[in-house]
Each structure stands twice: as structure tokens, then as C-alpha cells.
Amino acid sequence: PSGLDARHLRYMSRDDFRVLVSVEMGMRNHEYVPVPLVEHVAALKRGGAYRVLRTLLQSKLVAHMSVPVDSYRITSMGYDYLALHALVSRGSVSGVGHRMGVGKESDIHIATDDEGRQLVIKMHRLGRTCFRQVRNKRDYLRPGQHTTWLHLSRLSALKEFAFMKALHMHGFPIPEPIDVNRHVIVMSLVRGFPLNQVQKMARPDVVYQKLIELYLELASYGLVHCDFNEFNLLIDDDENITLIDFPQMVSTDHPQAAEFFARDVECLRTFFSRRFGFDPKHVPSLHADAPRRHNLDAELAASGWTRQHEDELERCDDAVANERAFVPSGLPLLPPIPPPDPDARADAEQDGSADAEGVAVAARRLARRASRGPERTV
């Protein structure tokens, strides 16, 4: 499954979104939200939420558990819809197209905005494994224990976006970060290919040198990417490099930073040797070659990304936590991330219905329909 089947989106009514957002809110402290709580949060007239839940269930936007208590959780598709709806509503995205890639912990889709600019949306899918651990059904209903895929995916996106903002601000060659909502990041589309798709290179020595300089520059800002390899480095015909994929980045203060740095450099060296027959003489190390000269702390501090968030990311089960290294509290994150104010969000999102028809059409229709007020097309 692509994780992004837009077919239902265009049939979503105001009430559908309202109930879906209510389930999401209930999931702050329930993994499955009892129906009475959904009813209460959605505040539709009696039985309204119940009816809508059945519709959402048919569309696979929620999942149902009937024992021991009639309850629902949002599905990853449902969560995708809420995020896309928000991004479409505020004009960051107008259409969603085909999926470009599936990562271990993300889906990447091509997208577009109203001006026809090509974008990429990255949907974080952290903690799928965490969520699947075997547990008593009652555990799902126990309030307060909710280190779920939903929260982790959102945190991961928030972290990546904040770092991207800070790096972009300092002129690093990365995609332009445009917006974030929940677990979804919007960024510019990079022209070029991942290095792993490049079979022949005219000047591997020059490119290797560029990459090492980029990695050292990153380190001089106190950061180790931790996944600095041929899959996350894009290159165009003019040998321009773009670095992507930041959620696993750590501070150079991290106890294993030098190790991560060395591992990345070693992988890159091996890749250049095997693929292009180029064997670099100089293989840098973090402490010898990358004195820290700048601080991103100031740029990052305003973001609201806290040690607490990082801890939360960390706390998921080992399968996930091992992939996600730590950002020490001295290195929090960045500015204008939309406030996670539940009321504002509910207001913003109970409104209208979206439409993402394959490629670039989408939200024009949404805007038209929203201006006509709520209506149901099904």
C-alpha cells in the first residue's frame, strides 16, 4: 500500500474531519479511544460521531476494537489525511502525486503547490514496530501510556524539519524546508540523483573531496548526520551535492559521535572505491579534522524542541530507539513550527474537504468547495 490513497479524501465532510481529529486527540492518552470520549470531544449531536466512525472505518481511516470497550484508533492513512488536509488548507501543498520512494521509516511523495512548484512530501513512519509489540488489549485502553507510532512519527518530523530550517538558514546544500504538519514534511524537490544511482563519474576525486568538506562543515556546526551515504546524497549533472534525511542526526557532543562520523566516512570511502575505483588517501576523523566553530543552539532554541521530546523519541522500544540517537539538551531545535494548539488545530481542520487526484490537481477543488461551505459528495 502506498500509505496515501487519496480517493477518500475528496469525500470527507466537515464532520468526518471533526471526528477524525477527535480520535487523534483522544490518542494523546489512549491507544484506542473509547467511543464516548470521541463523542464528547467531537460534540456532534447525539450518535453523530458513532455514525461517522463507521464511515471512517469503511474508508480505513480508523481501526476498531470492540472488546473490552467499543473504541477506535486512527490508522496511518487517517493520520496522513489529517496532515495533508492541514497542509492543503494553508496552501503549502495543492496536489499530491506518485510515491518516489519508501524508506525504512518514511514514504516520499512528489507534490506540488498552487504555483506549480514541484515539492516533496516526506511522511515519517516511526515506531511501526514499537506499536506492534504484543500487548494485552486492556493495555491499549490504559490512559497515559502512549508512546505510539503517532507521537513518534510526529516528533521525528518535527526534529527533521527544525534541523533542516537551521541548516538551510546557514546555507547548507539541503532541500528548502517549507512546512511541517504532524508527521509530514514539505520540502523543495531536488534535481539530481542519489549517488547510489550514479554508475560513472568523471571526477570522483573532486566529488569525494566536496563531500568530505561538507561533512566537516556540518561537524563544525556541532552535528554528525549519521546517515551520510550514497542514498542520502543527491548529485546533479554539474556535480552539485544535496544532502537529505536528517532525523537521526546527533550532536558532536554525543558519546558515540566520533564513531558515527568514522562509520559514515568509511562507508563513503568504500563506496567510492568499489563504484568508481577511486581510493582516497585522506580519511578524516571527527576530533582531528573538525573543530567546532559554530553553534546552532540559538537558531534551534526557539523551536520548542526539547530534551523531553528527544527522550520521548528515545524511549520507544529498542527496535526504534537504536535507530534514533540522541540530541543533548544543549542542542534543542528551531523556530516557526506551527503551534500544536489543539483548539486552533481542530478549528482549522474541521473545515472543508480535500481532494488529491493522482498528480497535481488537488486543492483547487478543495478551495472551491470550502468556499461553498460544508457539503457531502458521497
Determine the residue with CB nearest ligand ADP. Answer: 103
Residues 152-211 that bind ligand ADP (CB under 6 A): 175, 187, 189-190, 194
Q: Which does 94 bind (CB under 5 to 8 A by kind): Mg ion, ligand ADP, none?
A: none
| Buried/exposed 205-244: b ≥16 CB within 10 Å, e otherwise | eebbebbbebbbbbbebbbbbbbbbbbbbbbeeeeebbbb
Count each helix (H run) and each strand (E run) in the chain, helices first. 15, 13
Distance of closest approach, residue 244 Cβ to ligand ADP, in angstroms:
5
DSSP per-residue string spanning 258-325: HHHHHHHHHHHHHHHHHHH----S----HHHH-------HHHHHTT---HHHHHHHHHS-HHHHTTS-
Q: Which does 378 bind (CB under 5 to 8 A by kind): Mg ion, ligand ADP, none?
A: none
How many residues bind Mg ion (CB under 5 A)? The answer is 3
Identify the residue among 8, 122, 182, 254 touching ligand ADP (CB under 6 A).
122
Q: Which does 366 bind (CB under 5 to 8 A by kind): ligand ADP, Mg ion, none?
A: none
- Which residue do the cell numbers 470550502 mark? 370
Are 66 and 94 in contact by the 8 Å Cβ rule? The answer is no
Active site residue 227: yes
Segment contacting ligand ADP by CB under 6 A, of 22-30, 32-40, 98-106, 323-331 = 98-106
Select 83 or 244, whichever has its Cβ closest to ligand ADP. 244
Q: Which does 190 bind (CB under 5 to 8 A by kind): Mg ion, ligand ADP, none?
A: ligand ADP
Cα distance between residue 344 and residue 358, in whole Å: 29
Identify the residue among 108, 155, 300, 367 touching ligand ADP (CB under 6 A).
108
Select 8 or 109, whichever has its Cβ closest to ligand ADP. 109
How many residues bind ligand ADP (CB under 6 A)? The answer is 18
Q: 56 φ, ψ to 5°?
A: -65, -35
